[in-house]
Structure 1
Amino acid sequence: MAYTSEKYTHNPLIHRDRRLGKASSPWVASFSCENLKPLIVCRGPIRKEAMDVYAEMGITHFGILLSEKDSIVYPNALAPELRTLTDSNRVHRVPDYTGASKEERVERIGQIIGIALDNGYDSIFAGYGFMAEDDEFVAAIEKAGLKFIGPCSATQAGAGKKDEAKRTALSVDVSVTPGIDNVTARTLVKKHSSREKLVALANSDGLKVDKKILDDKNLSLEELADHILYASYDKGIDLFSIEELCAQVQTEAAEMFKKFPQSRIRLKAIGGGGGKGQRLLGAGLLNVKNPDDALIAKECAEAPGLVREILNEVKANGVGDNKNILIELNIEQTRHNEIQLLGNGEWCIALGGRDCSLQMHEQKLLEVSVTQEGLMAEIERAKAAGKPEQVKALESDLQVLKRMEEQSERFGKAVGLDSASTFECIVDRDRHYFMEVNTRIQVEHRVTELCYALKFTNPDDPKDFFMVESLVEAMALLAEHKKRLPRPERIVRFNASVEARLNATDASLSPHAGGIIRYWSKPIEGEIRDDQGISMLNPDTGMFMKYRVAGAYDSNIALLLTKGDNRQDSYEHMSEVIRSTTLRGSELATNLEFHYGLVNWFLGRNVMAKPTTRFVVPYLTLVGLLKETANKIDPVYAFLQMKKYYQKKISDAFASEPEVAAKEAKNISSLLDRKGTLITRPIERLLGDPHLLSGWLSMNTKNFRMDEKGKVVWLRNPVGVLNETYEYLHMGYRPHKPAAEIIWSHDNELLQQALAFSRTIRQHFGLARDEYHKLTEILANDKPQGGFDAEKWEQIRSAHFGYEAGLEMLGILFQVGIATKFWDLKVEDDLEITIPEHLTDPELQARMKKILVPPPATKADEIVSVCGGMYYGQEAPGMPPFVSEGMHFEKGQPLYIIEVMKMFNKIYAPFSGTIDKIVITGGDGTIVSKGQPLFKITPDEKFVEVDEAQVEKEKRTVTGEYLQAVLA
């Protein structure tokens, strides 16, 4: 569901009736889709979006398909869409959408088509699920006489498979990534090394290959092998073993490493997507200029295991499956840009771009619009601000975008694109490489919808037109009217938009299956929230209905979107949306705090920065360093020590007057006591969540500097910074909220007094907010300034001292930033991001991941599941188990695989030891929970228990050192 605070409606961006059949213009009315009868066979936010858009279009006969995992396998995971679609005749079920094997997938296709035909549906919409890119599924739909709301099977085959798409791209002069797209053909040629042997193979296996192809001497052996392979897929047989394929990939990878030193290689299943079916090879060669054969062979030895993982992950390891894998050069300093395409088979239009570089494990996290209009506006702003390097960088991006849009339209026409698709590219500074086409609507399609609307105009009357602001609506129109639709004109709506994917992940962005959402705050004004209906209240009670994040499919819970006149506006609004979001539950973990820290990191630096796909892991490592350092600080102890510092300072100042000294020391102690919780509560909150601290440090980058002695010098009034900190933490005074979540009333009263005083005195001297250093210089004068008499001047100075006393403690946060080299990760004038080398260290990255999310509590004699998900004890069906009872394992050895959100995560031993007993029951496919014992073990080394007293002592020592640095 997507809605704003004004009204509960799916799409708050549309303020008109979508029912074209009611239009006064006969031409517009002729494009009505009210007779369309679609079956929606996908899940997640796109299912609810399709339901709402179809209802708005006047489509009354639509239904949805549920997997049993939506409501049966996982308790309390009932599809929230059922709260609005109450007609049980329009709700249909299958065990799983795609099945666990090739046989089950074929069976499921038949079931889905049967459901559609038996229930009067004439079309099928598969959203952005994997079935949306399954050319066999689409072909079966078309064969059954149904419409597919998406690209046709011919387009799916020509553009959806990564190998075919790459060959098509080369044929129409589209820039592609260097690599190999036919390793299966090469595997077959290696096994049958002549034309005669290949022809004999085809004949002996009774493969249906056109005789003209078999007789064509102009075809290369690899081209002939490709034709024979496709015939084998149709027959459902294998012509080589997985072991032979693995050996060929290993050989090809070794040759590529020799050709491209200091690089890694990306292995990609041709049918993968959303990060599935992709692995990187050659981490040990990344910084080696001239690797020898032995080192290359050592790195390539991992290839067979990675190939099996890929095939297993995309379910292409069955007999007769197309097992082709792309072997591509991994462009290391790369941005991931994509172009939204729409076509009707004859025309194709590009609808701008999206930068999806902020991702981890191939999973996108934050996506931002990239449009010609938006870039041109930013170029003018940079020129006006006198930033020539930024202007040059943005102009380069504009030229790259224009080339990508032009090439994407050319590619779309070449494959006869007849619906929505996405042209994905790798961008390396001023160059781009075509990567793949997603022949479906994308998760982030709304980023484009916010920037552009489509205007369809009557070719015979330019005043006769209709507008479309939804790609889901456009896909329905194309399915129903295809060739009749004229090429639309794209109309600018907003110059910028941004989408944050709210995922079920922990603080280290690892998948976190399970968890129940028990409360979700209402959206704020202008917030666009696609959450498949989770936020809908019970219509009878007005109460929130709990929802379990099942973990059976992808990790996405919701899509949060904002828009603006420029990227700065959209980022600021996104920060406000996340800050205002309250999400509570049981065993619930999301990446909400990560997004808040990340968005504010960019707001503090430069929202036009150019992060690469390598940015998030080093950034997350830096956040881990913040947490590791913050864990050593005790704010309450620091505050008590600061009181002693002030008392001593007063005593020293009045050393010759003991009575006065005692009185003044008591006064300062009383004053600081009044401010204790005002100061310590936000600091404790920031130190307790490194994602919040990251955003706060970045936003305050220009509010301080360090002098030559390492002391914090404020460039902004710390009273104002403290007030902004409360707002940043969403702890501003709101009487209706629980006291634990807001500034306490007596603290707020004191803070408001301090703000009023600071504002009054600053305005009296005609100073701007960022001229705090001038104010401190003025107030340092013993002689009255600004026309005040001596008595008033002393009162002003005393009040200034009293309101700001103790705020030095905020400087501890800056000291944490200095200690972790926080500001070494920075945006340069040309918008490139400098990533310090130490943040790319794999060992440090792994250690910080554990700092962010410590392993589950366990006994010394057991190994437990690192997270919830589906357990597998072997790499693939038929392979030997990773471990057995009685065996010894080494540190770094694989122990098991956990499948979470359709991703397969291999878990390695954190230490060496012996497996005494395998305690997990049920075998492969068993659902386990975080912390569940899997193996009883005897570790090789004895674990030493932590001395809590020693930890506390070290904490106070470090806290004292940091405090001394800010008070010195």
Structure 2
Amino acid sequence: MQSNNYYLNNPWIHADRKLSNSSSEWVRSFSCEDLKPLIICRGPIRKEAMDVFDEMGINGYGILLSEKDSITYTNALAPELRKLTDPDRVHRVPDYTGANKEERTKRIQQIVRIAKDNGYNSIFAGYGFMSEDAEMVEAMEEAGLNFIGPCSYTQKAAGMKDQAKRTALATGVSVTPGVNNATSLALFAKYGKDGLEKCAKDHKLKVDFSKCADDEDKALALLHASYDAGIDIIDAKDIGEALKVEAKRMLAEKPNNRFRLKAIAGGGGKGQRILQSANSYKGKTLEERVEQAAAKVPSLVLECLIELKTNGVGDNKNVLIEMNIDTTRHQEIQVVGNGEWCMTMGGRDCSLQMHEQKLLEVSVTVEELEAAIEEASAAGRRAEVTQLKKDLEILNKMEEEGAIFGEAVKLDSVGTFECIVDGEAHYFMEMNTRIQVEHRVTELCYKLKFTNPDNPNDYFIAESLVEVMALIARHGKRLPKPERLVREPASVEARMNATNQALQPHAGGIIEYWSDALEGEIRDDQGISMHNPDTDVFMKYHLAGAYDSNIALLLTTGQNRLDSYTKLAEILRRTELRGKDLATNLQFHYGLVYWFLGNGINARPSTRFIVPYLTAVGELKEATSQIDLDFAYGQIKQKYLADADAKTAKAWATALDMKQLLITRPLERLFSEPHYLSGWLSTHKDVVKISKKSVEWSVNPIELLAELYHFLNMDYEPGKPARYMIWDHDNEVLQAALSFYASLKEKLGTEDFAEIQKALASDKAPKGITKKQWAEVQQAHAGYQAGTELLSVLSYVARKTKFHDLKVNADLSITIPDRLTEKELQDRMAKVLVPPPAAKSDEILAASGGMFYPREAPGMDVFVNEGDHFEAGDVLYIVEVMKMFNKVVAPFSGTIDKCLIDGDGVIIKKGQPLFKVTPDEKIVIETPEDIAKRRQAKTADFLNAIG
């Protein structure tokens, strides 16, 4: 019987949070046991809230489930329902948010009714669908429900990006250059500044313009009146045209810069689009290039609004346009307040992201940076010290500004002050008025001590931000300003998502096995790892494709960043996750963490790092796909046989045949998992030198082979399925070789492989060894080393692809080779990592499962009709996968003969035919024989390189 280590290792489980148990009357007065929350979020935060509420003595909470959530139940029970077995505390709605404003309003009313009818007195929305919806929070407040999160005033003042930017400017907080009043500009363009009062009169809107300080105030007052009335006085087209004018000016001023469009209600990367720079277009004059770039603005505005479902009548459709700082690092400050006091809890670096979705997040604290500065200084790394000192200065400024801003917006819960860092400058980006997915990175580093103002020895400590949210919601301004205490020196979090090797969303899939959490691992997995309480058997779980791709959060702590990364690498190495039609980014994280371990753990990647990195990994896979390992080993074997007499040749043949799978099997695994290969190469840069048709090892290749098996989690373990480990007969050969070299090291008195090789090359036997014994040692050494030449293929591939040109510099910046930033290569390597489904020459197949949309938005024309001619790169359709809308472009040019999918929002499967087409050019399909010949020719190049 296996124990469920998740509960043993997770510091948030079974913690003593019941303040009512305290001997202190003051502490007991902050009990929250009279809260009865309805949890209206999903994913890891829902399970976390349930656990924390249990620990706090908050009983009788309920959870909200949508019908889209429920599609998992036919295959496996939702983890929350394994724990919450009382059906009266589980409530269902058609979906969480609704498809438009009317449905959203109806859903809010439905949630209020569920709460009232079932005796809930509070609402917890986590970081989910409605956590930053000011309209919903206001409705909860009006219904007398206690919202466990920032109040509606804060939601409006900070949650809406345009208002937040105005507040930031008013309080002296640094902001990104750009335009935040597109709706006002559209209003002025349509009615004129002198026509605002007439507009109000024509639309029967009551606006007191006498209280407005200027035209901008008048425009804002008129716009808010229109939102309240549920009418449009301007629409998305008007806003798009107004921003197009502003974009022309900005593009002309900075023709090499890209710009970012952001709908004000967005968050988590949603409702944002990138406007490419003017100079990325072709044109004889700057004016021509600016026109081409700016022409994209109206459609991008529409995409932002549609993605957030804020394009309905009466919706606030404001969209910001800001300079996109391409070298930016994304950092955020954890802010906590009760409406009177406001404080910060350090920072997190979230720069490692793709599609605006964060992947790997690391702590950034004063204590951590001071320790890193001291360590780098002692080691004489001056450039690194300079950068770390800059980071410390920026962190202090961001924390100061975060507290000022939080106080200005009367933050009365937990929020996140998000910034972008560019060199020595930083800019406020937005405030998320909710708890963040990555909040535990902060929780692991700091805890809060609340002390009785009248007695310094009377206090309680909160370690969970969910707990802090409940405390503030229940006790508000009674809570004294806490002191932050260091909990752990460093932490790191990997978001495990349902994505393929190119990090594209992969909907659905069933998790059939997940190894138990390891010591030191904090696995926030929604409870998926819970075993059947009666049989202790892992229960299958079906990943719903209706929501975001996050499956779990994997966290570790350490004495410093290097320690936390090393622990995370070990967790990722030993984690086994298997299932049906299952794709995750587990391998990606393993390779990425090892890339940083090999190149520099304190590196400062920008938000642009991941796509070039993936492109480099794609180049590795493309190169390894050209190598035929069996053919290469056979050629190496033939060389040994050709240089030997008949008797010796027979011995060589036996020895090499015995070792073939021992050597080729882990290489095949690396070749099939390019992310693993990336990690291996990053930490093994100098193990072999290939020069002048020779191979020179700086380490013993036998020991390297054993290390490779360990790296791949293929160590020999009795009882483990053979397909997941080294085979027993191969292990016997490997262990015999390792034992031989261990004895040899002891005899020769050295660990240095170069010295051992030098000694073995001499016929003179070392002291204490007879000449006969020495000859046997030399013969054994030759036998053990035979065939290991093939291992040098790894370094050969790294050299051929220039993999190590992607590197960390002395000042912690990262050199990204120009080729890795080329869009054409990036797109091609994404297809190398995840080849599209094999299709007939007259059809186009679905690249992934999801929801099929043939048009940009309801009411618009379809992208292609039957009979239309399309060019390579033209958009054919949109597929929505796990909340992400992906435009799919034509891989070649041709004509649409037949559209095989009819309607909007149709569910499609990967590989399903979507269009019958006639290509402009005949597609040549390579035969298996052609592929084999090509691979052998490329393999021959490698063999020639090593002689």
Regarding TM over 0.5, the answer is yes
| CA displacement at 1:261 relative to structure 2 | 2.6
Matched, 1:833 2:814: yes
CA distance in structure 2 between the partners assigned to 1:137 and 1:282 by the alignment:
35
Cα distance in 2, alignment partners of residues 669 and 228 from structure 1: 88
- Residues 566-621 of structure 1 show CA distances to partners (whole Å, capped at 9, x for unaligned) of 11111111111111111111111111111111111111111111111000000000
The reply on whether 1:488 has 2:482 as its aligned counterpart is yes
Aligned to 1:99: 98
1:865: how far off? 1.5
- Whole-angstrom distance in 2 between the partners of 1:761 and 1:180: 71
2:187 & 2:298 partners in 1: Cα distance? 17
Give distance in 2, aligned partners of 1:222 and 1:630: 60
The alignment partner of 2:630 has SS state of helix
Match of 2:784 among 803, 806, 811: 803
Q: Which amino acid aligns with 1:437?
A: M
Matched letter for residue 743 of structure 1? I
Confirm whether residue 939 of structure 1 aligns to residue 919 of structure 2.
yes
Task: Output one character per residue of 1:357-400: Cα deviation in whole Å (capped at 9) or x when no partner.
Answer: 11111011111111111111111111222211111111111111
Q: CA deviation at 1:646?
A: 1.3
Task: Tell me, in whole angstroms, the C-alpha distance in 1 between the residues paired with 2:532 and 2:581.
Answer: 23
Corresponding residue of 1:734: 717
Shift of 1:531: 1.2
Which of 904, 908, 925 is 2:889 aligned to? 908
CA gap of 1:711–1:5, structure 2 versus 1, over 3 A, is farther
Q: Which amino acid aligns with 1:408?
A: G
2: CA distance between counterparts of 1:920 and 1:190? Answer: 41
Superposition CA RMSD, Å: 1.8
Alignment of 1:580-729 (within 5 A): 580-649=574-643, 651=644, 661-707=645-691, 709=692, 711-729=694-712
CA distance 1:776–1:750, shift in 2 (3 Å): same
Which one is further off, 382-391 or 685-694? 382-391
* Other structure's SS at 2:686 match: helix
| Match in the other structure for 1:351 | 345
State the Cα distance separating 1:122 from its structure 2 match.
0.6
User: Contact 1:538/1:544 (CA < 8 Å) preserved in 2?
Assistant: yes
The corresponding residue for 1:305 is 299
Are 2:903 and 1:926 aligned?
no
Shift, 1:5, TM fit: 5.7
The alpha-carbon deviation at position 927 of structure 1 amounts to 1.3
Residue 506 (1) aligns with residue 505 (2)? no
Match for 1:70: what amino acid?
D
Residue among 747, 750, 753 paired with 1:772: 753
Identify the residue that residue 201 of structure 1 maps to in structure 2: 199
Measure, in 2, the Cα distance between the counterparts of 1:414 and 1:764.
Answer: 73
Partner amino acid for 2:905? Answer: G
For residues 173-188 of structure 1, what are the structure 2 equivalents within 5 Å?
173-188=172-187
Q: Which moved more, 1:910-919 or 1:392-401?
A: 910-919
1:880 to 841, 851, 861: 861
Q: Output one character per residue of 1:845-884: Cα deviation in whole Å (capped at 9) or x when no partner.
A: 0111111111112222222221111111110111111122
Change in 2 beyond 3 A, CA 1:179/1:301 = same
User: Are the structure 2 counterparts of residues 263 and 733 from structure 1 closer, same or farther at C-alpha, using a change threshold of 3 Å?
Assistant: same
Residues of 2 paired with 1:646 and 1:381: CA distance? 50
Which range is displaced more, 879-888 or 108-117? Answer: 879-888
CA contact (8 A) 1:4 1:524 kept: no
- Give the distance between the partners of 1:711 and 1:157, measured in 2 at CA: 68
Task: Output the CA distance in 1 between the equivalents of 2:818 and 2:508.
Answer: 36
Name the amino acid aligned to 1:816.
V
| Equivalent residue number for residue 78 of structure 2 | 79
What letter is aligned with 1:722? L
The answer as to 2:855 corresponding to 1:861 is no
Flag structure 2 segments of 5+ consecutive residues without an equivalent.
Answer: none
Confirm or deny: 8 A CA contact 2:168 2:174 kept in the other structure.
yes
Letter in 1 for 2:316: N
Of stretches 808-817 and 75-84 in structure 1, the one that deviates more from structure 2 is: 75-84
Contact 2:37 2:62 (8 Å CA) reproduced? yes
* Compared CA separation, residues 473 and 821, structure 1 to 2 (3 A): same
SS in structure 2 of the partner of residue 578 of structure 1:
helix
| 1:98/1:131 contact within 8 Å kept | yes
Please, which moves more after superposition, 834-843 or 387-396?
387-396
SS in 1 for 2:419: strand
TM-score (normalizing by structure 1): 0.95
Checking the alignment, whether the CA contact within 8 Å between 1:14 and 1:469 is kept in structure 2 is: no
Residues 1:70 and 2:54 are matched in the alignment: no
- What's the secondary structure of 1:883's corresponding residue? coil
270-279 or 667-676: bigger deviation: 667-676
C-alpha contact (below 8 Å) 1:189/1:222 kept by paired residues: no
Letter in 2 for 1:860: S
8 Å contact 1:77–1:550 — kept in the other structure?
Answer: no
Q: Which residues of 2 match residues 127-138 of structure 1 at below 5 A?
A: 127-138=126-137
**Secondary structure of 1:643 counterpart:** helix
Matches of 2:801 and 2:258 in 1, distance apart?
29
- Taking structure 1 as reference, are residues 302 and 536 closer, same or farther at Cα in structure 2, changes over 3 Å only? same
3-state SS of paired residue (1:132): coil
User: Quick check: 1:515–1:588 contact (8 Å CA) kept in 2?
Assistant: yes
In structure 2, the partner of 1:17 is 16
SS at match of 2:186: helix
Q: How far 1:6 sits from its partner (Å)?
A: 4.3
Report the AA paired with residue 198 of structure 1: L
Q: Does 1:949 align with 2:892?
A: no
Q: 2-side partners of 1:457 and 1:15: how far apart? A: 23
Which amino acid counterpart does residue 23 of structure 1 have in structure 2?
S
Compute the displacement of 1:711 (Å): 4.1
**1:268, 1:279 within 8 Å by CA — same for their partners in 2?**
yes
Amino acid at match of 1:373: E
**After the TM superposition, which residues 356-367 of structure 1 pair with which residues of structure 2 at under 5 Å, given as runs?**
356-367=350-361
Q: Secondary structure at the match of 1:130?
A: coil
Deviation readout 1:320-360 (Å, 9 max, x if unpaired): 10111110000011110011111111111111111111111
Partner of 1:959: 939
Q: Partners of 1:9 and 1:344 in 2: how far apart? A: 33
Contact 1:508 1:852 in 2 (8 A): yes
**Contact 2:449–2:485 (8 Å) recurs in 1:** yes
2:273 aligned residue (271, 279, 291): 279
Q: Equivalences for 1:452-471 in 2 at 5 Å?
A: 452-471=446-465
Equivalent AA in structure 2 for residue 873 of structure 1: P
Conserved in 1, the CA contact under 8 Å of 2:702 and 2:738?
yes
Task: Say whether the 8 Å CA contact 1:4–1:12 is kept in structure 2.
Answer: no
> What is the deviation of 1:706?
4.1
Counterpart CA distance in 2 for 1:305 and 1:486 is 49
Aligned to 1:747: 730
Q: Is the 8 A contact 1:4 1:529 kept in 2?
A: no
Q: Distance in 2 between matches of 1:431 and 1:175?
A: 9
Please list the CA deviations of residues 494-535 of structure 1 after superposition, one character each: whole Å capped at 9, or x if unmatched. Answer: 111111111111111111111111111111111111111111
Which residue pairs with 1:758 in the alignment?
741
Kindly state the Cα deviation for residue 165 of structure 1 after the two structures are TM-superposed: 0.8
Residue 654 of structure 1 is matched in structure 2 by none
Q: 1:246 is aligned with what amino acid?
A: G
Structure-2 separation of matches of 1:287 and 1:412: 41
Distance 1:232 1:510 in 2: 40
What SS does the aligned partner of 1:124 have?
strand
- Conserved? CA contact 2:251–2:278, under 8 Å: no
Does the aligned pair in 2 maintain the 1:870–1:928 contact within 8 Å?
Answer: yes
User: What is the CA-CA distance between 1:79 and the residue it aligns to?
Assistant: 2.5
CA contact under 8 A between 2:72 and 2:78: conserved in structure 1? no
Task: Determine the C-alpha separation between the residues in 2 that align with 1:210 and 1:310.
Answer: 32
Q: Indicate conservation of the 8 Å contact 2:603/2:813, yes or no.
A: yes
Structure 2 residue matching 1:762: 3-state secondary structure: helix
Which whole-Å CA distance do the structure 1 matches of 2:483 and 2:66 have between them?
A: 39
